[in-house]
Structure 1
Amino acid sequence: MRKKVCLIASSGGHFEQILMLEKLKEKFDLYIVTEKTEYESTTISKKYLLKQINRKGFNVVVNLPILTLQSFWVFLKEKPDVVISTGAMFVIPTFLIAKLLKKKLIFIESFAKVTSPTLTGKFLYNKVDVFIVQWPEMKKVYPNAIMLGSIY
């Protein structure tokens, strides 16, 4: 039986990076979770689109709990073996849920971050099973990370 893998990323560059992992569908049952935007093209047939939230202001306080509940529902429905993410914010609740349920967690720090961490990366660094960086300089920030080079 093939392992089920959840690819989860917020919209924009994080989503663009997670799409680089689409080829994993040849070996795993993949599904993707992202924010609903005009740009959500993927060859992965199973996808869940959550409400996009503005990361600034009061909107995030109201919508993050809603996104957390939606992510939890998707997680319980799909029951992934592994969760992989490139960030950002709304992936944290899903990772914490997966951690509680003892699922394998893989976080890939953003390609855009060459010498400094993302907020999501800083929060998840000691909570995931595998932490991957894309630049050798990031090993100074995350000494226990695996440096695999560019996701592109």
Structure 2
Amino acid sequence: MKKICFIASTGGHLDQLMMLGPIMDKYSSFVVTEKTKYKAIKNINKVYYLFQVNRYEFIWILKLLLNAIISMYIFILERPDVVISTGALATIPMCILAKIFRKKIIFIESFAKISSPTLTGKLIYKFADEFYVQWEEMLNIYPKAIYKGGIY
């Protein structure tokens, strides 16, 4: 059975990822997200946490590097076959690791983006195996993307 890593930063990215619950239930899976002061995930057995990264913070690059180390640990421990991400910044190291180890990467661009790309989306688009947009207009920005509507 394939093992799937579901990874997203907190907030709307995580909300969108959690809409994929039926897929999580169907496969051996685990979730990776950022650690916050509130409990963002309930009813999921296996959850790993990264540092919350805000690119406007002075130490964002240090947090990203720490997340890369944590992501490597999680990747080696879990050995996922597929990484599914809705972004954002904290998820980049896991996606890069998946690419290095020739695992499948599925990226879902944010539902909030109707006419412009996210920074994470622009980066991951270049090497994702499947890249989904939730608005048909986004095919103008990501011509090789897959549009199947929103996940809400």
Counterparts of 1:85 and 1:16, CA distance in 2: 12
The within-5 A match list for 1:1-152 is 2-37=1-36, 38-152=38-152
Counterparts of 1:141 and 1:39, CA distance in 2: 35
Higher mean alpha-carbon deviation, 32-41 vs 114-123, is at: 32-41
TM-score, reference length from structure 2: 0.95
Structure 1 counterpart of 2:142, which letter?
A: Y
Q: Name structure 1 gaps, 5 residues minimum.
A: none
Q: CA RMSD in A?
A: 1.0
Counterparts of 2:71 and 2:106, CA distance in 1: 17
Q: Describe the superposition over 1:62-114 as per-residue Cα deviations: whole angstroms up to 9, x where unpaired.
A: 21100110011001100000000000001111111110100000000000000
> In structure 2, the residue corresponding to 1:71 is in which secondary structure?
helix
TM-score, reference length from structure 1: 0.95
Structure 2 counterpart of 1:6, which letter?
A: C
Counterparts of 1:81 and 1:67, CA distance in 2: 20
Counterparts of 1:54 and 1:128, CA distance in 2: 23
> In structure 1, the residue corresponding to 2:16 is in which secondary structure?
helix
Structure 2 counterpart of 1:91, which letter?
A: T
* Count of residues paired in the alignment: 151
Moved over 6 A (4+): none
Q: Name structure 2 gaps, 5 residues minimum.
A: none
Higher mean alpha-carbon deviation, 120-129 vs 37-46, is at: 37-46
> Percent of aligned positions with the same letter in both sequences?
50
